[in-house]
Amino acid sequence: MNYTKSLQGKHLITTQDWGKGELDTVLGLAKEMKKDRFHHPLSKSLENKSFFMFFFNPSVRTRQSFEVAATELGGHALFLEPKSMRLKTATTAGETIEDATRVMSRYACGLGIRILEDKIPHYGAGEDLIREYAQYSDIPVVSMAHDKYHPCQGLADIISIQEHLGELRGKKTLLIWGHGALARSWCSVQEYLLIASRYGMSINLAYPEGYDLDPEVIEQTKKNCEQNSQEFNITNDVKEGYDGVNVVYSRNWMSPQAYRNNKLHKEEEIEKALKFKEWICNKEKMKLTNDALFTHPMPIDRGNEVTDEVASSSRSIIYDVAENRLHVQKAVMALTMGEY
């Protein structure tokens, strides 16, 4: 594979910011790295380099997959918690984002940031913060999930579906809201809408009234579908979207009313969401599909978003997606931060 150096130094905040060819390059390299995991020609591309990881919010897969990715590329990942650093906030004195970023740019080869839900005062604040870091950074900034987008998750979703279905143009997917007790942000589902539509999938989006997503993301998804001559349908019916689809993605997400007065009202969101018990992905609904794959970014709220029977079925690709987070992140890091 010809590794273009055009991606060196490039930030990844959402896949929508990258050209389709650039995404293809990442996915192609990720497939190579998965096949030749420990002996790929770029396996030392981060040798003697360090990757900083800012975790405003905790994780399981994200921290593990980025740390393993850095190690397998010959580098090292440092786990950093902003709360233990003297950073300026809206209520405390400290170092500015500009100063902190310019210093970190002289230490590390890249910076990952994860900021979600209760660590922001309103929707969009995480997006603003990560783009401010990118503004002052001389090294690539990668979103490890923020309130609006989750690019590495989107890449893992697409490569996993490709592994099972091949060419995605003309395939149909359902993204459906699931009731649950986690009050999840919009990042993973919005990234999925954008990247699935970029890759030519026809999209059904289903959710109860009152759970609309970001209007800008919806409009961009419509444009992506139109450019690929595919359909984009939105329904508030709990079963309609399943009809004939090839992939089902069931996940809970919070309502647009979750943030009020600069605060996330998490308990209210959970109480409200648990009333929609019919919005669970189960075997009966999956029978309406075209023998669809089931996917989810994890962690899964089993028994609420989806039944165990579906999540653990032979058509479930949840563990493939989780594994592929490692491979796509290795590809992103090698191409944007590595030497080759």
Instruction: Please name each of the domains of the chain with its CATH number.
Output: 5-149+322-337 (3.40.50.1370), 153-321 (3.40.50.1370)
Bridge partners of 114, per DSSP, are: 55
Read off the tokens for 177. 């809201």
Read off the tokens for 128. 């603003």
User: Do residues 211 and 279 lie in contact, with contact meaning Cβ atoms separated by under 8 Å?
Assistant: no
Model pLDDT for residues 174-205, shown as the tens digit of each residue: 999 999 898 999 999 999 999 999 999 999 99
pLDDT of residue 258: 97
pLDDT of residue 89: 64
User: Do residues 252 and 212 lie in contact, with contact meaning Cβ atoms separated by under 8 Å?
Assistant: no
Cis peptide before 299 (omega within 30 of 0): yes
Sequence length of the chain is 340
User: Do residues 255 and 272 lie in contact, with contact meaning Cβ atoms separated by under 8 Å?
Assistant: yes
Residue type, 41: P
In 3D space, the residue among 25, 326, 17, 33 whose CA is nearest the CA of residue 153 turns out to be 326
Q: Which helix (H) or strand (E) holds 330?
A: helix 318-337
Q: Which residue has the tokens 């990952």?
A: 112
Model pLDDT for residues 99-140, shown as the tens digit of each residue: 999 999 999 999 999 999 999 999 999 999 999 999 999 999
Task: State how far the Cα of 143 lies from the Cα of 122, in Å rounded to an integer.
Answer: 18
Task: State how far the Cα of 152 lies from the Cα of 140, in Å rounded to an integer.
Answer: 14
SS3 (DSSP) at 150: coil
> Which residues lie closer than 8 Å to 62 by C-beta, 6 or more apart?
114, 144, 145, 152, 325
* pLDDT < 50 stretches in the chain: none
Read off the tokens for 126. 């995480």
Locate all alpha helices (DSSP H) within 36-176, ordered by sequence: 61-72, 97-104, 125-136, 151-165
**Cα 38 vs. chain centroid, distance in angstroms?**
25
Task: State how far the Cα of 110 lies from the Cα of 16, in Å rounded to an integer.
Answer: 20
